[in-house]
Amino acid sequence: MPLRNRVDPYGELIAVPDRGTMTGNRGTLHNERGEMTREWRLERWICCELQFQGRRAKVMTPGHYTHLFFLDEATALAAGHRPCAECRRPDYNAFLAAWMRAHRGAWSAPAVDAVLHRERLAPRPDLPFDSLPPGAMIEWDGAPYLIQPDSLWRWTPSGYTARVKRPAGQSVRLLTPVSIVNTIGEGYLPKCGEFSGSLL
């Protein structure tokens, strides 16, 4: 039976067999039986590489942080995770530099985490689609989609499986936190999975 440690673009923990291309954590969320007992423990939600310096850890180790998995970085960012400053240091540096361009002044990782935590707890806003950059994720027609330059890609746990026209001139429900959308707008390019469906 799949573990409930996969993350969707809404930030929800789901149980699916697909592992994804990235991992991360929100602290220790499981008990000694490997059962999820909470959705988060820390304000520091990070997104990591699947492999780093040969480290190996058993998923759901008692007392250890809970390994979460994402289809790709665009999914992790939509869920409110940021790049890890250890295993993804170049990406973290690029993210923080773009964040500081978007939000002005010097920022520390804990300050970024505090902003993201407030946004994760707030209702997701409706915004004009034309104001959103490629790499952000939205809800469209009741499903999550990744914005691409020429289309929208429908998210599923196993990959992007449908491509539709961009809803120009309309308001949409934004999934990616606004602060991260602004960071993407200032040049941070999230890693996105491949499109594997058909053109609709």
pLDDT digits (tens, 9 = 90+) for 62-97: 888 999 999 999 999 999 999 999 999 999 999 999
| Cβ-based neighbours of 150, under 8 Å, separated by 6 or more | 166
Q: How many domains does the chain have?
A: 2
Is 52's pLDDT higher than 80? no
| Residue 93 is assigned to a structural domain of this protein | no
Exposure string for 70-79, b = 16+ CB within 10 A, e = fewer: bbbbbbbbbb
Residues 122 and 192 in one domain: yes
Residues 18 and 81 in one domain: yes
Classify residue 30 by its DSSP letter.
Answer: B
Residues facing 36 on adjacent strands: 30
Residues 46 and 12 in one domain: yes
The Cα 181–Cα 74 span in angstroms is: 11
| Residue 102 is assigned to a structural domain of this protein | no
Q: From 36, 57, 88, give the residue that closes a domain.
A: 88
pTM to 2 decimal places: 0.94
Report pLDDT for 180: 98
The two counts, helices (H) then strands (E), for the chain are: 4, 13
Residues 79 and 122 in one domain: no
Share of the chain above pLDDT 90, in %: 83
- Residue range 117-168, pLDDT digits in tens: 999 999 999 999 999 999 999 999 999 999 999 999 999 999 999 899 999 8
Residues 195 and 122 in one domain: yes
